[in-house]
Structure 1
Amino acid sequence: MITVDSLGSSAFKREHGLRYAYVQGSMVRGIASARMVVAMGRAGFLGFLGTGARSVEAVESAILEIKAGLAEGQPWGVNLLANAATPQAEMAAVDLLLRHDVPRIEASAYLQVTAPLVKYRAKGLRRGPGGRILFDRLVMAKLSRPEVAAQFLAPAPERLVAALLADGAITAEEAELVRAVPMADDLCVEADSGGHTDRGSLPSLLPPMLQLRDELAARHGHPKPVRIGAAGGIGTPAAAAAAFVLGADFVLTGSINQCTVEADTSEAVKDLLQQIDVQDTGHCPSGSLFELGAEIQVVKKGLFFPARASKLYDLWRLHGSLDEIDARTRRQIQEKYFRRSFEAVWDETRSFYAEVAPEEIARAEANPKHKMALIFRWYFVHSMRLAEQGDTEQKVDYQIHCGPALGAFNHWVKGSGLEDWRKRHVAEIALRLMEATAALLEERFAALSAPAPAAAASDA
């Protein structure tokens, strides 16, 4: 019999101290709040704190809130976001996580393994009874590409280990042991999701990842198998059931959790999210990876942000400076999009980079195209603040990361007690979804295994 307890990997649940093979993923700007992570941990689920676009001080405060809200051994973790532009900020984030003994991280947006990530992985590694390697901290990597997965299924790159050892960031024992284990304990294969996305299809992505895991485990002789989970598009029992049938060891949800009581975003955003359907999201350029042309998936229903973001990217791509853009378009951007002058935006941008990356200011002053990119990227940050604050005057500029999973979820709960977001609590949603998934699988497999009806006798 298929039950909620039989779903997913027992090893995954055992190592993380979970009752259910279900994870609440992080969301940018702390939408996946400390309150959300605590609610999940108390109910036997694993939740990750969102840290993207949050200050070190805000993240530290949230970590302390989580530690105060959960008992010893209850599961929780923190997102660690790749930061190629300012690697020193990524290292500062890792040092914060180590200082507060954060037990696990959700590593996201990584295209390659970095020194800060290796440092987190290595710290605390030691030999136990019988020479078994003991871990103080666990790493879950959220990704969508096999070439990235291969890096997390292999030991840390030797050059990074050697550099950390030479700098005294890790001990000789930690360096030795991190060479013998994969970079991750778990991989979460992310299909078409809210936020940054490669628009992947889970049935196409998950089987090759499982095969790759098995091949690299055999090659490297890892002491324990890396578990493979599924994310992206999971908002209904049918979607979760499909993931488990494909071989997922766990499922991870994102979009459905930001339309809940515990989500740290405005009521205006939640009111909007409660109404969206599966066709109400779309893709547009990313602000954080603007020059690379990377895409994010956002809500498009009733909002101008996706079209305006795409126009800004096209203007940047086709022009070498702001002065090359025609006067009418420049006026439209300043009056309609920004509601302030380019000069005012640059003053704010320059003040920000003066603190975090002064070299960006010099680069922008020497390169008009780069300066244009930084000014345009301001709009992406601003649009997220508008949504977070629930600014009703500029509602059309809200940037809301979301995938179609929430539209599907809205259909599933229509007419039930969960239709109103004010009654949606993340732990209750998780439990109902897992229970319904188990019931659906039991029903479907029972139907598939039922004997075929006898053929009707033909007329003489």
Structure 2
Amino acid sequence: MAPLNAFTTVGQSPAQLGFVPKFRSHPIGTWSADGSGIVLSDVQQLSSIQQTIARISEGLAIVQSDRGIELFRAGQGSFGAAPDRVNCLPLLAYLPPLSLRNLGSSEFCDDYGIRVPYVTGSMANGIASVEIVQAIARAGMLGFFGAAGLSLAAIEVAIERLQTSLGDTPFGINLIHSPNEMGHERDTVELFLNRGIRLIEASAFLDLTLPVIRYRLAGIHRDSQGKIVTPNRILAKVSRIEVATKFLSPPPERFVRELLESRIITPEQAELAKQIPVAQDITVEADSGGHTDNRPAITLFPTIVALRDRMQPLYGSAFPLRIGLAGGIATPRSTSAAFAMGAAYVVTGSVNQACVESGSSDVVRAMLAQAEQADVIMAPAADMFEMGVKVQVLKRGSMFAMRGAKLYELYRTYPSIESIPESERLTLEKQLFRAPLEEIWQQTIAYFQQRDPAQVQRGLADPKHKMALVFRWYLGQSSRWANRGDATRKLDYQVWCGPAMGAFNEWAKGSFLEQPKQRDVVTVAWNLLFGAAIVARETQLRAAGLDLPAHYYPTHPQTLAELQPLVPEMSA
């Protein structure tokens, strides 16, 4: 592990950072030390103090001696006893060994065959790329491929690559709600079932749909011990209690009946459906990039946890309902806060887009690395444009949000493209589309003839819908321009991003992770988890009555080589 002195407060020497620690509670027992300890007030030992605290897999005793308050890694303790012999010191606090696996739910890790409760979310258009999923899976975590916005052919290519390269190593694929293209949602589920995809991340759902229920119930049965087995599992990303309620409930009877009448499921499977939740694991999506309701995690998460507690009796111990947290997970402190609130797992998103494995471009990664928390804004969503749904995007360096808002204003105001004033149409053709709108319509027809021909027929019959499809061309292309790094379209880049990106950049400032080329998803993941464990130790010490300065706790970015000796899970 590299010396940690360099990460003390900028501009101050260790001597200037010295202090006399005060213990604000009572001893909890005695400690018989093996060897000598480290005196907390000795600023010359700051690096040793940091390294000792960083050994999270080892217990740590805090004792009172003639030299002051000391840290001991070795010795024997006794709780509740008074010092009664030489070398037996008052024990002020004891920090047990910390396992990164136990920061969240070890049961979650067991169920999905992963080492630590860390998930990378499914950023659309392949931004959550095959390379991200491969790297995360091989590190013993859970990654989801960003299938939203891609054609069925592109999704199948990604599935083939992942299944070939990862074998039995767990991974998942995204299923995004497509209210305007229900045929595509249905066909995507059909593809998942045909290719044996056993885990999906369901996102942006406003209500349950038949394809989701079909996926969940496929193959449901009882094993030889009578236990209900559900081969297909869903992590449902939600930000509203009414949607969470539906996912935590058994499948709606109307969908089960329809599947039964269509002979897609058997009568026995229909009965078993009454005893399972649609999703056993719910990801609470707070203020995230992309689709979001901008809800604060500190209020939304406890709300969904309370819902979980009310609904758990429906399933007893057969299906423990677990709640994870996404949105704002970007630093050791936010990661630790999520686990402290009871998150079974954490999900990262925006920070992964800035990593070298993402399906985005180098120019976008550079833009994200400069982002601050206020550099985000809401803009119209391509997939739910007509409904007025918005996504959170990067504002700095792009005019996409403003131009997207202009398109939605025109859509709301006029019944057709032809009714838009000529001056407005010319501006659109010159600045946004860079082509006649009729030419864009022909491109749109060609696209939907392959993806969803019903959209073309509806557009030909309904001028308002035709206008929506043409405007959605711009909204959809803007993300692809960003992913390709099209320099001629930089002002039109749609980059999904939440305030987490600014928090990450502030934390990484002055370290090797400040540079986009140094950011990889595995290094980021282990840093967030390890840093969360260090913050947990800080919280434990404060609760025990001992406040230490922040620079005593090594939560700064570290390389994988530096973390390896400190994190047993990295070698598991």
TM-score under structure 2 length normalisation:
0.77
Instruction: Look up the match of 1:46.
Output: 142
Tell me what 2:120 maps to. Answer: 24
Cα drift, residue 71 of structure 1: 4.2
Q: Which residue of 2 aligns with 1:15?
A: 111
Q: 2:226 aligns with which of 127, 131, 140?
A: 131
* Bigger Cα displacement from structure 2, 5-14 vs 248-257: 5-14
3-state DSSP of counterpart to 1:444: helix
CA contact (8 A) 1:194 1:298 kept: yes
In the TM superposition, residue 220 of structure 1 has moved relative to its aligned partner by 5.2
Is contact 1:278-1:407 (8 Å) kept? yes
1:121–1:178 contact (8 Å) kept in structure 2: no
> CA offsets, 1:110-157, max 9 Å, x none?
111111111111112211243111232221101101100011111111
Quick one: distance in 2 between partners of 1:364 and 1:88? 16
User: How far apart in 2 are the matches of 1:166 and 1:194?
Assistant: 40
Q: Conserved in 1, the CA contact under 8 Å of 2:541 and 2:547?
A: no
One-letter amino acid of the counterpart of residue 381, structure 1: G
Matches within 5 A, 1:299-318: 299-318=394-413
The separation in 2 between residues aligned to 1:350 and 1:63, in whole angstroms, is 28
Task: Give yes or no for contact 1:45–1:427 (8 Å, CA) kept in 2.
Answer: no
String of CA shifts for 1:332-364, please: whole Å, max 9, x gaps: 111011111111111111222233333333332
Please give the residue correspondences for 1:258-407 in structure 2 after superposition, counting only pairs within 5 Å.
258-407=353-502
Which residue of structure 2 lines up, in the alignment, with residue 457 of structure 1? none
- Amino acid aligned to 2:432: Y
Aligned residue for 2:109, secondary structure, equals helix
* Cα distance in 2 between the residues matched to 1:359 and 1:48: 30
Deviation for aligned residue 1:95: 1.7
- Between stretches 330-339 and 89-98, larger displacement belongs to 89-98
Among 516, 519, 522, the residue aligned to 1:421: 516
Query: 2:163 aligns to what?
Result: 67
Amino acid at match of 1:81: I
2:514 aligned counterpart, secondary structure: coil
Secondary structure at the counterpart of residue 490 of structure 2:
helix
Structure 1 gaps of 5+ residues are 454-460
From the two aligned structures, give the one with the greater helix fraction. Answer: 1
Alignment of 1:232-243 (within 5 A): 232-243=327-338
Give the whole-Å Cα distance in 2 for the aligned partners of 1:222 and 1:93: 32
Report the 3-state secondary structure (helix = DSSP H, G, I; strand = E; otherwise coil) of the residue aligned with 2:489: helix
Question: Secondary structure of the residue that 1:228 maps to in structure 2?
Answer: strand
SS of corresponding position for 2:202: strand
Q: Cα 1:222–1:184, aligned 2, differ >3 Å: closer, same or farther?
A: farther
Maintained 8 Å contact 2:381/2:391: yes
In 2, distance between residues paired with 1:168 and 1:205?
40
Greater Cα radius of gyration, structure 1 or 2: 2
Code of the residue aligned with 1:22 in structure 2: it is Y
Partner of 2:349: 254
The equivalent of 1:161 in structure 2 is 256
Task: State which drifts further: 86-95 or 12-21.
Answer: 86-95
Would the aligned equivalents of 1:195 and 1:402 in 2 still touch at CA under 8 Å?
Answer: yes
- SS of equivalent residue, structure 1 residue 28: coil
Residue of structure 2 aligned with 1:408, choices 491, 503, 507? 503
- Choose which of 85, 95, 105 in structure 1 pairs with 2:190: 95
In the TM superposition, residue 178 of structure 1 has moved relative to its aligned partner by 2.0
Percent identity between the two aligned chains: 42
Residue 452 of structure 1 and its aligned partner are, at CA, apart by 9.2
One-letter amino acid matched to 1:14: D
The one-letter code matched in structure 1 to 2:273 is: V
Q: Which amino acid aligns with 1:67?
A: Q
Per-residue Cα deviation, 1:249-304 (whole angstroms, up to 9, x for no partner): 11000000011111011111112111111111111111211111111100110111
Separation (CA, whole Å) in 1 of partners of 2:396 and 2:134 = 32
Distance 1:339 1:222 in 2: 59
- The alignment's TM-score, normalised by the length of structure 1, stands at 0.95
**One-letter amino acid of the structure 1 residue matched with residue 279 of structure 2:** A
- CA–CA distance in 1 between the matches of 2:317 and 2:156? 34
**Which letter does structure 2 place at the counterpart of 1:160?**
F
Q: Report the more deviating stretch, 107-116 or 169-178.
A: 169-178
Partners of 1:219 and 1:55 lie apart in 2 by: 38
Matches of 2:374 and 2:310, distance apart in 1: 38
Q: Aligned-pair distance for 1:323? A: 3.1
* Aligned 1:175-194 pairs, distance under 5 A: 175-194=270-289
Give deviations 1:403-450, integer Å, cap 9, x for gaps. Answer: 111111111112222222222111121111100011012112311321
Paired letter, 1:387: A
3-state SS of paired residue (2:133): helix
Contact 1:238 1:440 in 2 (8 A): yes
Q: CA deviation at 1:451?
A: 6.2
Match of 2:340 among 217, 229, 245: 245
* Cα distance in 2 between the residues matched to 1:354 and 1:58: 16
**Distance (Å, rounded) in 2 between the aligned partners of 1:413 and 1:302:** 21
Could you give the per-residue CA deviations for residues 131-186 of structure 1, whole angstroms, max 9, x where no partner exists? 11123222110110110001111111111111112212223332222221000120
Whether the 8 Å contact between 1:182 and 1:222 is mirrored in structure 2 is: no
User: Does 1:174 find its partner at 2:266?
Assistant: no
Equivalent residue, structure 1, for 2:24: none
Which residue does 1:456 correspond to in 2? Answer: none
Report deviation, 1:222: 6.4
